[in-house]
Amino acid sequence: MVKIRKALFYEVEMIREQRVKAYEEHAQSIPEGHWDALKKAISSDADEQRDVELLVAELDGEVVGSVALFPAKSDAYKGLVDMLDYPEIRMLAVTPQARHKGVAEALIQECIRRTKVNGSQYIGLHTADFMKTAMRLYERMGFVRLPQFDFQPADDGIIVKAYRLSIE
């Protein structure tokens, strides 16, 4: 069974390395400059901003995934997107060996639960077409597109697409 908990301070570097390894499969399918920007973003200290919740997923006592839940009105994308009025899921990552075991969905459900407890009506995220499995998961979970919050981080034609879920 997947257990979700807050990350411990000494796990942060390992989590960032795990993120890069989890996203590396995309390196071959996107331009090098985009991969460099993505790698820099997911290994940055953005997850240490005030009130960001860094969560991990454990399977059989081992950390196999993580996600950062950014609070509403935070600069989750370093100025690339307007500050949104709802929390944002970022840097969701699951180790390749733990995929297809419900880890990503459990992390997202915990973000939704925490957002609901805090009284927000929505939760958002951004993703790109090259992350096909992730997009299918988000759409299956009821996230809907919000193209007005899309952005292009690397000026290479790759659009980072905004999604939002209503959680009344």
In the chain, domain spans: 3-120
When the pLDDT of each residue in the chain is averaged and rounded to a whole number, the result is: 91
Please report which helix (H) or strand (E) contains residue 23, including its range: helix 12-23
Nearest to 68 by CA among 81, 95, 50: 50
Percent of the chain with pLDDT over 70: 95
Q: What is the pTM of this model?
A: 0.93
- C-alpha to C-alpha distances, 106 to 3, 32, 57, 73, 146, nearest whole angstrom: 8, 31, 8, 24, 23
Residue type, 71: P
Percent of the chain with pLDDT over 90: 75
- Neighbour count for residue 33 (Cβ, 10 Å): 13
Q: Specify the CATH superfamily of domain 3-120.
A: Gcn5-related N-acetyltransferase (GNAT) (3.40.630.30)
pLDDT at 7 over 60: yes
Judging by DSSP bridges, how do beta strands 122-128 and 160-166 pair with one another?
antiparallel
Q: Rounded mean pLDDT of 19-25?
A: 95
pLDDT confidence bin for 3, thresholds 50/70/90 = very high
pLDDT at 82 over 80: no
Residue type, 34: H
pLDDT confidence bin for 75, thresholds 50/70/90 = low
Cα atoms in the Cβ-side hemisphere of radius 13 Å centred on 163: 20
Q: What is the largest CA-CA distance in the chain?
A: 42
pLDDT confidence bin for 137, thresholds 50/70/90 = very high
Position 157 scores a pLDDT of: 87
Spatial distance between the Cα atoms of 19 and 40, rounded to a whole number of angstroms: 11
pLDDT at 80 over 60: no
Q: Which long-range contacts (CB under 8 A, 24 or more apart) does 96-99 make?
A: 96/21, 96/22, 96/25, 97/64, 98/57, 98/59, 98/64, 98/65
